[in-house]
Every structure is written in structure tokens, then in C-alpha cells.
Amino acid sequence: MESTQPDDGTIGRLEAALTALGKGDARREELIDDFGGPAAYRAWLAGMLLGAAQAEAVAADRAPLSRDARYAIWQRQLSAAGVSGDTAAQAELVRWQVERACAPLPALAAEHATDPIPLAAGQAAEGLRVLLSVMAVTQGAVAAGDVPALAAQAGRLREARKVLQAAVDGTDLLLELLGSVDI
């Protein structure tokens, strides 16, 4: 079995942060066993901490702030994530955030198979995810003058366009249906 004490102390720091937010759980050894080892437990802790931080961010984002204040907050987030000043890493962070936020959409679309809105949302999220991955690749490629890497993204751009077009088509279909009932 893996060691329950990673060398970098990440588990302890995550546990301390969750405890500080009132979300701690003192059952470390039991949870490590339940999750199948320290790596899975660490991922669980990180997910818990992310959820707690997101709940705080949602509440904080309700405050009326200027565009400049919101941009300053974004800059602090980039700094805390360790990607400040690295455009490709920033694009990758945004791609990951969108991917994580939109992960439930395909499941929602499957649950509500007759409802075109979750399907269109899932398609739009997938298209955005692909575009953001292309953005992350092209940021570095442009800086390096890597023309082959840029050219290799053409297929991904076509993929994004196809999925986004499906989302638009689904939305148009719903609008037509609503129009047929005088809404």
C-alpha cells in the first residue's frame, strides 16, 4: 500500500485549509483506505477544497463590482494558480475551468433526452472546450513561430465549429417550435 504521508505535505495542507473553512474531516486513515490510497484521497480533498472555495466565490461574485475590480480579482486568481504572466498556461487554466464546470452537461442532456436545451448547452460547452484547447496550443506556437503546430489545429477548429453549429441548430429548432405556438 502507498504511504499515507506524501513527501510534499499536500494532504496536510489540504486538510488544514478545509478545517479552516469548517469543512474538515478527521478520518484520514479511514478515508485513505476508502478511496484506495493517498492519491485518490488527495484528489478528494482538493475537490472538497475547490467546492468550498467556489461556494465562497459565488457568494462574493454577487457583489456589485466594476469591470476593473473583477479583472483585478482574475489577476489574483492567476497569481494564486501560478500562471500569472504565462499566456499559454492561463489559456489552459481557463480551458480546465470550463471543462470542469461543463462536465455535468452531457449527463444532463442524457437525462433529459427530449429537452434540446441541455443538449445545446452540452454541445456549446464541448465546442468551447475544444476552442480553448486550441487557444492554449496556439499561444505557445505563435510565440515560438511553430507553423506546423498552428496548421495542425485546423482539424480541431473544424471539430469546434461542427459542435458549435449543432448547438446553434438545436437552439434554432427550439426557437422555431416556440414560434409555432405564438411565444
- Per-residue pLDDT tens digits of the chain, which is 183 residues long: 344 445 468 888 998 998 888 888 878 888 888 888 888 989 989 988 988 888 888 888 889 999 999 899 888 888 988 888 887 788 888 888 888 888 787 777 777 766 778 888 888 988 988 898 888 888 778 888 899 988 999 999 999 999 999 999 989 988 888 888 876
State how far the Cα of 168 lies from the Cα of 178, in Å rounded to an integer: 15
Q: Which three cell numbers stand for residue 49?
A: 477544497
State how far the Cα of 79 lies from the Cα of 168, in Å rounded to an integer: 36
Q: Which three cell numbers stand for residue 76?
A: 489574483
Look at residue 163 in the predicted model and tell me its pLDDT: 93
Domain spans of the chain, in order of start: 10-63, 86-180
On whether the CB atoms of residues 157 and 135 are closer than 8 A, the answer is no
Look at residue 29 in the predicted model and tell me its pLDDT: 81
Look at residue 168 in the predicted model and tell me its pLDDT: 94
Look at residue 169 in the predicted model and tell me its pLDDT: 92
On whether the CB atoms of residues 135 and 91 are closer than 8 A, the answer is yes
State how far the Cα of 72 lies from the Cα of 83, in Å rounded to an integer: 15
Supply the DSSP symbol for 145.
T
Look at residue 32 in the predicted model and tell me its pLDDT: 85
Look at residue 54 in the predicted model and tell me its pLDDT: 85
